[in-house]
Amino acid sequence: MEPVLRVDKPGLQTTIQDLGRGGHRAYGVPPGGAMDRFALAAANRLVGNPDGAACLECAVSGPSLVALQSCLIAVTGADFGATVNGEEMPLWTGVFLPAGERLAFAGRRAGARCYIAVAGGFGGDRWLGSLSTYQLVGRGGLGGRPLKAGDLLQPAAAPPHPQVAGRHLAEPLRPAYASAPRLAAVRGPHFDRLSRPARTALWKTEFEVGKDSDRMGYRLEGQTLEAGGRDILSIGLAMGAVQLPPGGNPILLMADHQSAGGYPVILGLGRADIVLAAQLLPGEHVSFTETSVLRAQDAWRGLRAGLETL
Amino acid sequence: MAKPRIQPLGDAALLVQLGSRIDTALNSRAHAVAAALRKRSGIRDAAAGYASVTVYYDPERTSYRSLAAAIPKLVAHPGRVGPSGRLHRIPVTYDGPDLAEAADQLDLTPEQVIRLHGQPIYRVFMVGFVPGFAYLGPLPPALHLPRRRVPRTLVPAGSVAIAGAQTGIYPLPSPGGWHLLGRTPMRMFLPDSDPPSLLRPGDRVRFFPA
């Protein structure tokens, strides 16, 4: 198939991502995929794709892309000031990009990661069932690496018919992104190991997202927590789990997290709140509030229901 | 078999704990339960730990409550795991940055650490952490050390390391909190194979000085 977009500037870190690869955790392969799975699914719906089609995930700054053929696109997630030929482009909206026109970004206003969908989805290298870029091993997406200038982006499939521009996800139906969100978390399997003062601190502290935070996870700083008990045996981990290494600074595991580990797991975020965490940058803040499995599942269902309006 | 402990891990995963020991029978059971669960509808993935199974489920197709009700029966009668158990001999150059310090903490000489590390035939209890990282054990008790207090942000690929009752080989450059004894040129991560790991649960490993 003919390439649909040309990369003139790649942005800080733009990668091809879908909903990740399940089924290989027993060999140490993390789920990977979009950090903000809601924004990815929404971008796909807005251009008529299935929820799990591959999009571009753009961290911190956006790319500059030129349409090589007319295409339907949508930009969701973080607000990096998207423009088409210099004119502001509406977010969370299907927009027709005529051949020769340029999608670019004026600069970050809020959030950490935006998603660009194209009708038909982006193509790339499939690894273990997913197009998601997994940089640690250099597999998936575009050669397992972020985009660079001069790359030509191929569509995965012909655009779905009919192509409808103007689909829009209304603001109240989008996640409540914030630079200091209060994230709802379920007690983890080793919560009981926290000392009494550590439990109080866990629910009261506003943690800072550490500077070496990335797609693997966020180191949470500003307050160390104390846990007792013997070393635990390594267990399979999950995106959104909060681990507590012996230094006492919690680590929030994100999409490319280590698949197993032996530190106490004190919290597990629900999927709706992982989405909020995905939009945080180093230096921003986060705190936790307790929820239950059922309430967390309801929160995700509530968010997903918005997509059914599209 | 004691009743397993089942606890949530967020809103779409749960942890089944079968015990708290490094034990071959418990570990075989964990792998058999994970294999059985992977075949169930509503289950996206299941990964065995040493003595646990983490289950990743789709809450739209099954529920925490129904899984928590069904899992104890599966743990009691998990069925068989597939054939496995190849023996791998792995050469090690024992020049790791933590060898001298680990020997010192263990009250051993580096030579004694090397000899003890090469003695057992280790079992692959699980593969995890990063692709192709096999957790091997049990390590001789004379070599047991707690993990490093502050994990290294970058451990080179091929590093052979110990922590607690475990030993392992870092397949890729990655963060890590284990004590580095040496390195091997053997490739643990096989990106163009499926599964992408040289070592599989149930395999056996013996180290020898290169």
Computed over every residue of chain A, the mean pLDDT equals: 96
**What does the pLDDT read at residue B149?**
80
- Alpha-helix runs per DSSP H in A49-134: none
Banded pLDDT at B31 (limits 50, 70, 90) = very high
**What does the pLDDT read at residue A203?**
97
Domain ranges of chain A: 5-171, 182-307
Q: Chain B: residue nearest A252 by CA? A: B10
Cβ within 8 Å, pair B197-A28: yes
Which B residues 182-201 touch A at CB under 8 Å? 189, 191, 194-197, 200-201
Q: Give mean pLDDT, residues B26-46.
A: 94
The answer to whether the CB of A245 falls within 8 A of the CB of A262 is no
Cβ within 8 Å, pair A237-B54: yes
Banded pLDDT at B82 (limits 50, 70, 90) = low
Domains B5-76 and B87-209 fall in the same CATH topology: no
Domain ranges of chain B: 5-76, 87-209
| Tokens describing residue B163 | 């922590």
In one-letter notation, the amino acid at residue A4 is V
pLDDT tens for A21-56 read 988 999 999 999 999 999 999 999 999 999 999 999
**What does the pLDDT read at residue A239?**
98
Banded pLDDT at A229 (limits 50, 70, 90) = confident
In whole angstroms, give the CA distance from residue B18 to residue B53.
8
Q: Which of A19, A235, A237, A273 to mutate to test the interface with B (most CBs of B within 10 A)?
A: A235
Percent pLDDT > 90 in chain A is 93
**What does the pLDDT read at residue A232?**
87
In whole angstroms, give the CA distance from residue A15 to residue A10.
9
Distance from CA of B191 to the nearest CA of A (A): 8
**Pairing state between β B174-176 and B166-169:** unpaired
pLDDT tens for A148-189 read 999 999 999 999 888 899 999 999 999 999 999 999 999 999
Distance from CA of A280 to the nearest CA of B (A): 19
Distance from CA of B167 to the nearest CA of A (A): 12
Alpha carbon distances (Å) from B48 to A5, A28, A232, B10, B37: 42, 11, 14, 18, 11
Banded pLDDT at B6 (limits 50, 70, 90) = very high
**What does the pLDDT read at residue A161?**
87
Alpha carbon distances (Å) from B146 to A117, A168, B163, B185: 47, 54, 6, 26
Cβ within 8 Å, pair B191-A238: no
Domain B87-209: give its CATH architecture: Beta Barrel (2.40)
**Choices 3.20.20.150, 3.40.50.2000, 3.10.450.40, 3.30.1360.40: CATH for B5-76:** 3.30.1360.40
pLDDT tens for B93-136 read 999 999 999 999 999 999 999 999 999 999 999 999 889 999 99
The answer to whether the CB of A51 falls within 8 A of the CB of A89 is no
With a cut of 80, say whether residue B61 has pLDDT above it. yes
Least confident of A69-78, A222-231, A262-271, A277-286: A222-231
The answer to whether the CB of B162 falls within 8 A of the CB of B189 is no
With a cut of 80, say whether residue B81 has pLDDT above it. no
Radius of gyration of chain B (CA): 18
ipTM score of the complex?
A: 0.96
Could you tell me if A182 lies within 8 Å of chain B, comparing CB atoms?
A: no
In whole angstroms, give the CA distance from residue B22 to residue B140.
12
The answer to whether the CB of B136 falls within 8 A of the CB of B122 is yes
Cβ within 8 Å, pair A188-B17: no
Banded pLDDT at B84 (limits 50, 70, 90) = low
Instruction: Identify the H or E element spanning B122.
Output: strand B122-127
Instruction: For domain A182-307, give the CATH superfamily.
Output: Cyclophilin-like (2.40.100.10)
Q: Give mean pLDDT, residues B163-179.
A: 92
Residues of A in contact with B128 (CB under 8 A): 25-26, 28, 234, 236, 258-261
Q: Give mean pLDDT, residues A111-119.
A: 98
**What does the pLDDT read at residue B71?**
97
Computed over every residue of chain B, the mean pLDDT equals: 94
With a cut of 90, say whether residue A139 has pLDDT above it. yes
